[in-house]
Structure 1
Amino acid sequence: MLKHAKRNLILLYTISTGMILTLVIGLLFYSSIKQAITFEKNIFQNAIFSVNYFIQNETDLTHSQLSEIENQTHVMIDIQEIDPSYKGSLSSKTNREFLFKTLKNELNKIVIAVNLFEDSVYKNPIVTIKGEKHDYYYGTSLTFPNEKETIYILYYLDFSKIISLKTVLTYIFIEVIGLLLLFLLSNILVKKALIPIDINIQKQKEFVAAASHELKSPLAVIQANASAIKFEPSQASFYIKGILNECQRMSRLIQDMLFLASNDSHRWTIKKELIDTETFLIETYETHISYCHEKKQILTLDLPKEELPPFHADKERLSQVLAILLDNAISYSPAKSVVTIRSFIQNDSIVFDIEDHGLGIPNTAKEYIFDRFYRADPSRSDKKHVGLGLSIALEIVKLHNGKISLKDTVHGGCTFSVELPIE
């Protein structure tokens, strides 16, 4: 499914950006054509000035002079009203007579003429006419003051100059290269953008696999005890006790998974209240002292001489965090070792340390210690710890905008630190 989405995203990105690129190139191409057309019109206007200059400075133009003017200015001249015998020297795709006839018809439709040459000559607007062989021309006429003598001028529009094959191929090449680069870029960007989703899906798969594995164990024990009751009814109370223990274990595991799932979907919130720090720590100490004695360990509470200020937090959830850290410290520390609860102020934050002197956590495992279902020592058969506690603690601390970290304890063991901002 993700591969299909990735392919669609790449295609969508390439098409959308490709359309923008095509639009930009199209505008550039159109602009270059407009510039080429403007250039051709300027050439024609310069030719008109040149023709006017020659005609006004020559009292008696010969056919050879007119032909020379045509060759120099690259325009066709018609002077039928002055000299009907002149047939012109430049050839055209369409018959010259047809072209000049078409020009005269077009100019006759225009009523207003423009006085261009200081009352010495009147120039009609430039018009575009089409030949019989899909050839196009600029055309106009020059009318002299007596309004009896008019010459007509045509200029061939060479579209191979306006839209050259080289220019077209250049723009096509730019378009193809641009689309290829956009495709490669979209491929890279989409893959990078989907990396968190890939990681999340992989984590979900691992989470489901681990959860299934953890749930199989108590279910197997429950099934075995239930079967044993059938064959040994006299020992039913013993087997029922095992079933109840495994049911409690499953209940804790399911609650932990529901909490993490709720937090992942952002449907879980905290309810902050003002907490008296020292009272909170003393309650935490008193709650875990008996469990620590049961494990033949020493639990100490280390508070600074200065009174700790109160802070805002969700008391129930923060108690859960410290309970998780203390439970791990007590469970993985040897008998007669010391577990310490410590608190102090640092950088406008209140810090809670849970310090133990157990075996510690290897450096290779520290970066994974907060991952779900991860256990630094997978060989341990402790059914109480399934590897979700530290993940839950991390999520709760994040919801408080705090930080949780791990460091080695001097002389062995590890210390977990929870740092919460003082509001």
Structure 2
Amino acid sequence: MFKKVQFRLTLMCGGITTLILVIMTLGYLYISENNLKDTQFLSFRNNINTVTANLEQQSVIKHEWLSKLEDNGKYMIFLMDNGIPFLFNSRWARADVEELYTEAFAYYENTFSVELVEPALYHSIHLEFTFSSANGEDYFASVITLEKGKNILQMLVLSSLAPMKEQLFNQRLLFLGIISFVLIILWILSYAFTKLLLRPIEENRKNQVQFVASASHELRTPLAVILSCLESFKQAPENKRETFLNIMESESQRMSALIEDMLDLSRSDNHSFSIEKESTELDTLLLNSYEAFEPMAKERNLALTVHLPDTSLPSCRCDKARIEQVAAILLHNAVSYTPAGGSVSLSLQQRKKHFLIIVSDTGIGIPNDEKEKIFHRFYRSEKSRSAKGHFGLGLCIASEIVQAHNGSIRITDTPGGGATFTVCLPLS
């Protein structure tokens, strides 16, 4: 399923980005090419202005000046004096060239004749335009009309657009290469990023599936015991029924505790974890926790000690009930997994702007490769699988509570063996 989602997300992200990039590129090319054409046409018009000014100043038009004006084939020039072609035009005496000049003059007269009524009223006039020949060639063209006495001189100047078109073609090829390369990288990155984006969702789904499976397993065991005891209760004599009732009550309480833990985690997932902060004396809170677990420690032949600072500590802004729950979870785990004859220590320290609640034991310890996993839901170390009443949710709940207080919880090895949990809480 996630492969399909990744493929569709890649198509969507890559497709939208590709469309935007292509539209922007086409827009840029359109503006760039139009600007280039306008610049070239403006340059051509400025050159014609210069040519017109020179024609007005010259009494004799020299072949040398005309040849230099053609600038090695950049311009093609055709001159007529009172409608008679100049001798200079003989150098272009080819049928295709003559046909080109004829087409240009015909286009000029048919298109712009209205603007040139009574041209003799003007000392000189020139008009620039774009012209396409019959063979598909495009040109910048200009017709200069100059009155000199009774003579009317006309000069046709053509500038081929082939070099500009080649420049535009090369520019398009360059952009096509760049865009193709960018799009390849873009699609690769889109695929990689969508995979990264979906990874937390995929992991969350796996955790949900595992959570449901683990919860079902944990609930099935006490439920099976209750059903078995209920069946036995129906057939048991009066003097033995109380035993089955006690077992059913114990398993029901176990199921209730599991369901309550699951509800806590559900509230955390929905960001409805109720945290009501108030000024709390942590030393008093830990002392109460110590007194609550002291009987359980004695019953298991464990030495439970508490270490509090000699000086008074400032109050901590926290949810008193939730922090008591964290302390209870850590102490219950420490007492449950520490063999008889071992010890459990509860201590409180202040470090600058933080409080440290430390629960240390000399129990079975936790391997390094499991230190991060123990805060996952329903995770229990292989060494603790046989411990009844521990569902693998306690440390996860403790971690959620501490994080809701903007604090942190970490685990280290106790010197000589065992595990040490350190809860760090801000002062306020």
TM-score class, shorter-chain normalisation, is 0.7 to 0.9
The residue type equivalent to 1:142 in the other structure is: I
Q: Specify whether residues 149 and 356 from structure 1 end up closer, same or farther in structure 2 by C-alpha distance, changes over 3 A only.
A: same
* Deviation of the 1:414 alpha carbon: 1.9
Q: Specify whether residues 76 and 228 from structure 1 end up closer, same or farther in structure 2 by C-alpha distance, changes over 3 A only.
A: farther
Q: Specify whether residues 124 and 107 from structure 1 end up closer, same or farther in structure 2 by C-alpha distance, changes over 3 A only.
A: farther
| Equivalent residue, structure 2, for 1:184 | 188
Residues 134-154 of structure 1: CA deviation (Å, up to 9, x unaligned): 443322222325486141424
Task: Tell me how large the CA RMSD over aligned residues is.
Answer: 3.3
Q: Write 1 or 2 for the structure with the bigger share of helix.
A: 2
TM-score normalised to the size of structure 2? 0.85
* 1:304 and 2:309 are equivalent in the alignment: yes
| Equivalent residue, structure 2, for 1:77 | 78
| Equivalent residue, structure 2, for 1:126 | 128
1:158 to 121, 145, 161: 161
| Equivalent residue, structure 2, for 1:228 | 232
Check whether the contact 2:375–2:399 (CA below 8 A) recurs between aligned residues.
yes
| Equivalent residue, structure 1, for 2:319 | 314
The residue type equivalent to 2:228 in the other structure is: A
| Equivalent residue, structure 2, for 1:117 | none
Taking the aligned partners of 2:51 and 2:178, their CA distance within structure 1 comes to 40
Check whether the contact 1:36–1:162 (CA below 8 A) recurs between aligned residues.
no
The residue type equivalent to 1:182 in the other structure is: L
Q: Specify whether residues 168 and 349 from structure 1 end up closer, same or farther in structure 2 by C-alpha distance, changes over 3 A only.
A: closer
Stretch moving more, 304-313 or 130-139: 130-139
| Equivalent residue, structure 2, for 1:116 | none
| Equivalent residue, structure 1, for 2:272 | 267
| Equivalent residue, structure 2, for 1:25 | 25
- % identical aligned pairs: 32
Taking the aligned partners of 2:408 and 2:82, their CA distance within structure 1 comes to 99
Q: Specify whether residues 111 and 318 from structure 1 end up closer, same or farther in structure 2 by C-alpha distance, changes over 3 A only.
A: farther
- After superposition, residues 40-55 of structure 1 pair within 5 angstroms as 42=43, 45-46=46-47, 49=50, 53=54
The residue type equivalent to 1:81 in the other structure is: N
Taking the aligned partners of 2:166 and 2:34, their CA distance within structure 1 comes to 7
| Equivalent residue, structure 1, for 2:379 | 374
Residues 240-274 of structure 1: CA deviation (Å, up to 9, x unaligned): 32222222211111111121122122122300011
Taking the aligned partners of 1:186 and 1:123, their CA distance within structure 2 comes to 60
* 1:206 and 2:207 are equivalent in the alignment: no
Taking the aligned partners of 1:350 and 1:4, their CA distance within structure 2 comes to 48
| Equivalent residue, structure 2, for 1:38 | 39
Taking the aligned partners of 2:137 and 2:402, their CA distance within structure 1 comes to 80
Stretch moving more, 329-338 or 83-92: 83-92
Check whether the contact 2:226–2:248 (CA below 8 A) recurs between aligned residues.
yes
* 1:397 and 2:402 are equivalent in the alignment: yes
* Deviation of the 1:317 alpha carbon: 0.5
Taking the aligned partners of 1:356 and 1:247, their CA distance within structure 2 comes to 30
Residues 140-198 of structure 1: CA deviation (Å, up to 9, x unaligned): 22232548614142425434641465444333222222211110121122222332222
The residue type equivalent to 2:80 in the other structure is: I
Taking the aligned partners of 2:65 and 2:388, their CA distance within structure 1 comes to 113
* 1:196 and 2:200 are equivalent in the alignment: yes
Residues 205-229 of structure 1: CA deviation (Å, up to 9, x unaligned): 2222222221221222122222323
TM-score normalised to the size of structure 1? 0.85
* Deviation of the 1:281 alpha carbon: 2.2
SS of the equivalent of 1:79 reads strand
* Deviation of the 1:83 alpha carbon: 1.3
The residue type equivalent to 1:232 in the other structure is: A
1:295 to 293, 300, 324: 300
| Equivalent residue, structure 1, for 2:243 | 238
Taking the aligned partners of 1:321 and 1:258, their CA distance within structure 2 comes to 16
Alignment length, in residue pairs? 416
Check whether the contact 1:78–1:100 (CA below 8 A) recurs between aligned residues.
no
2:347 to 338, 342, 346: 342
| Equivalent residue, structure 2, for 1:256 | 261
SS of the equivalent of 1:194 reads helix
Check whether the contact 1:47–1:75 (CA below 8 A) recurs between aligned residues.
no
* 1:420 and 2:420 are equivalent in the alignment: no
Q: Specify whether residues 169 and 233 from structure 1 end up closer, same or farther in structure 2 by C-alpha distance, changes over 3 A only.
A: farther
1:136 to 135, 138, 145: 138
SS of the equivalent of 1:358 reads coil
Q: Specify whether residues 269 and 131 from structure 1 end up closer, same or farther in structure 2 by C-alpha distance, changes over 3 A only.
A: farther
Residues 62-113 of structure 1: CA deviation (Å, up to 9, x unaligned): 9x99899768553242526341687772635965334312212333344799
Q: Specify whether residues 333 and 61 from structure 1 end up closer, same or farther in structure 2 by C-alpha distance, changes over 3 A only.
A: closer
Gaps of 5+ in 1: 114-119
Taking the aligned partners of 1:190 and 1:202, their CA distance within structure 2 comes to 18
* Deviation of the 1:53 alpha carbon: 4.5
| Equivalent residue, structure 1, for 2:178 | 174
Gaps of 5+ in 2: none
The residue type equivalent to 2:43 in the other structure is: N
Q: Specify whether residues 61 and 171 from structure 1 end up closer, same or farther in structure 2 by C-alpha distance, changes over 3 A only.
A: same
Taking the aligned partners of 1:73 and 1:325, their CA distance within structure 2 comes to 91
Stretch moving more, 351-360 or 164-173: 164-173
Stretch moving more, 373-382 or 402-411: 373-382
Residues 29-64 of structure 1: CA deviation (Å, up to 9, x unaligned): 3315642663366357547745875796473779x9
The residue type equivalent to 1:400 in the other structure is: H
Taking the aligned partners of 2:414 and 2:265, their CA distance within structure 1 comes to 29
Check whether the contact 1:94–1:133 (CA below 8 A) recurs between aligned residues.
no
